[in-house]
A and B are shown apart, each in its own frame.
Chain A
Amino acid sequence: MDANYSLMAIEIATALLAIGVLIIGLLVPKEQRYGLGYLVTIGLTGIFFLTFAFYGTNTKLFGGMYIVDDFSIFFKQIFLAAGILVTLAATLYVKKIGANYGEFFVMMVFATLGMMVLSSAGDFITLYLGLETMTITFYILAGFKKGDSKSAEAGVKYLILGAMSSAVLLYGLSLIYGMTGTVIVQDVAALITAGGGMQPALIVGLVFLVAGFGFKISAVPFQMWSPDVYEGAPTPVTAFLAVGSKAAAFAALIRFFLIAFPDYQAEWKVLFAALAALTIIVGNLVAIPQTNIKRMLAYSSIAQAGYIMTGVVAADAAGIKGVAFYLMLYVFATVGAFTVVMNFSSNTGSDEIKDYAGLAQRSPLMAAVLLVCLLSMAGIPPLAGFAGKIFLFSSIVSQGYLWLVIVGLVMSMASVYYYLSVAKVMYMADPTDNTPIVVPVGAKATLLLTMGITVFLGVYPEPLSVLATIASKALFMIN
Chain B
Amino acid sequence: MDFPILSVILLSPILGALISVFIPKEESKIVKSVAGITTFISLALTVIVYYLYYTQHLATGGMQFTEFIPWVSDLNVNYSLGVDGFSLPMLLLTNIIGFNAVFSRSWSVEKRGKEYYILLLILITGVMGTFVARDLFIFFLFYEVVVIPIYIMVIIWGSGSKTKAVTKEYAGMKLTIFLLIGSAFLLAAMIWMYMEAKGLRGGAATFDIAELAMVKFSERFQIIAFGMMAFGFTTLLSMFPFHSWSPDGYAGAPTSVSMIHAGVLKKIGGYGLIRVGLFVLPMGAIAWAPVIAILAVANVVYAALICLAQKDMKYVVGYSSVSHMGFVLIGVATLNLIGLNGAVANMFAHGVMSALFFSMVGYIYAATKSRYIPDLGGLAHQMPVAATGFVIAALASAGLPGLVSFVPEFTTFIGAFKTSSQLIHVLAIIALTGVVLGAVYVLRMVANVLFGPRKEEWDHVKDIHGSYWIPVVSLIFIIVLFGVFPSLLMDMVNSGIEPIAAKFIQAATQIGGNI
Contacts and interface: CB of A to CB of B under 8 A. Distances in A.
A393 B156 contact: no
A437 interface: no
Contact of A405 (B137, B152, B156, B188): B188
A381 B133 CA distance: 15
A393 B151 contact: no
Interface string A150-186: 0000000000000000000000000000000000000
B184 A406 contact: yes
Given A381-B140, A413-B177, A402 B148 contact: no
B142 to A, nearest CB: 8
A391 B184 CA distance: 15
Contact of A406 (B137, B183, B185): B185
Interface string B88-115: 0000000000000000000000000000
Interface stretch (B36-44, B72-80, B403-411): B72-80
B71 to A, nearest CB: 7
B58 interface: no
A406 B180 CA distance: 13
Interface in A206-241: none
Interface stretch (A23-31, A94-102, A329-337, A419-427): A419-427
Nearest to A423: B152
Interface stretch (A35-43, A253-261, A461-469): A461-469
Interface residues of B, number: 35
Contact of B75 (A375, A390, A393, A417): A390
Interface centre among B176, B195, B199, B228 (most CB of A within 10 A): B195
Interface string A467-479: 0010000000000
Contacts of B173: 417, 420
Interface centre among A405, A414, A461 (most CB of B within 10 A): A405
Nearest to A409: B184
B253 to A, nearest CB: 14
A307 to B, nearest CB: 13
A93 interface: no
A398 B225 CA distance: 13
Contacts of B183: 413
A358 to B, nearest CB: 12
B151 A465 contact: no
B188 A402 contact: yes
A188 to B, nearest CB: 31
B184 A413 contact: yes
Contacts of A397: 188, 191-192, 195
A438 interface: no
A204 interface: no
B169 interface: yes
A410 B196 contact: no
Contacts, number: 87
B181 A381 contact: no
B155 A469 contact: no
A2 B213 CA distance: 56
A63 to B, nearest CB: 35
Given A381-B140, A424-B155, A427-B155, A375 B148 contact: yes
B325 to A, nearest CB: 22
A380 B191 CA distance: 15
B188 A393 contact: yes
Contacts of A198: none
B192 A402 contact: yes
A17 B155 CA distance: 49
A386 interface: yes
Given A386-B144, A428-B155, A413 B181 contact: yes
A157 to B, nearest CB: 34
B279 interface: no
Nearest to A420: B151
B287 interface: no
A450 interface: no
B28 to A, nearest CB: 16
Interface string A439-479: 00000000000000000000011100110010000000000
B145 interface: yes
B176 A420 contact: yes
B185 A409 contact: yes
A65 B11 CA distance: 54
Nearest to B199: A398
Given A410-B181, A462-B71, A386 B141 contact: yes
A394 B194 contact: yes
Interface centre among B72, B140, B147, B187 (most CB of A within 10 A): B187
Contact of B74 (A382, A412, A460, A465): A465
A387 B141 CA distance: 10
Contacts of A381: 140-141, 144-145
B184 A461 contact: no
B151 A390 contact: no
A445 B148 CA distance: 26
B185 A382 contact: no
Interface in B242-276: none
Nearest to A404: B188
Contacts of A382: 141, 145
A416 interface: yes
Nearest to B177: A417
Contacts of A416: 176-177, 180
B181 A414 contact: yes
A406 B188 contact: yes
A428 B152 CA distance: 8
Contacts of A414: 177, 180-181
Interface string A367-409: 0000000010000111000110011011001100010011001
A127 B192 CA distance: 37
A469 B191 CA distance: 19
B199 A465 contact: no
Interface centre among B73, B74, B145, B169 (most CB of A within 10 A): B74
A412 B145 CA distance: 16
A416 B151 CA distance: 11
Contacts of B140: 381
Interface string B120-152: 000000000000000001001100110110011
Contacts of A402: 188, 192
A250 to B, nearest CB: 21
Contact of B152 (A406, A413, A427): A427
Given A394-B195, A397-B192, A410-B185, A469 B144 contact: no
Nearest to B74: A465
Contacts of A424: 155, 169
A387 B187 CA distance: 12
B181 to A, nearest CB: 5
16 contacts: A380-B144, A390-B75, A391-B75, A398-B192, A406-B184, A409-B185, A409-B188, A410-B184, A413-B184, A416-B176, A427-B152, A428-B155, A428-B156, A462-B73, A465-B74, A469-B74
Interface of A: 375, 380-382, 386-387, 390-391, 393-394, 397-398, 402, 405-406, 409-410, 412-414, 416-417, 420, 423-424, 427-428, 460-462, 465-466, 469
Given A390-B191, A414-B180, A416-B180, 16 more contacts: A375-B148, A381-B141, A394-B191, A397-B188, A402-B188, A405-B188, A409-B185, A409-B188, A410-B184, A413-B177, A413-B180, A413-B183, A416-B177, A420-B173, A460-B72, A465-B74
**Minimum-distance CB pairs A-B, first 4:** A413-B180, A409-B184, A398-B195, A413-B184
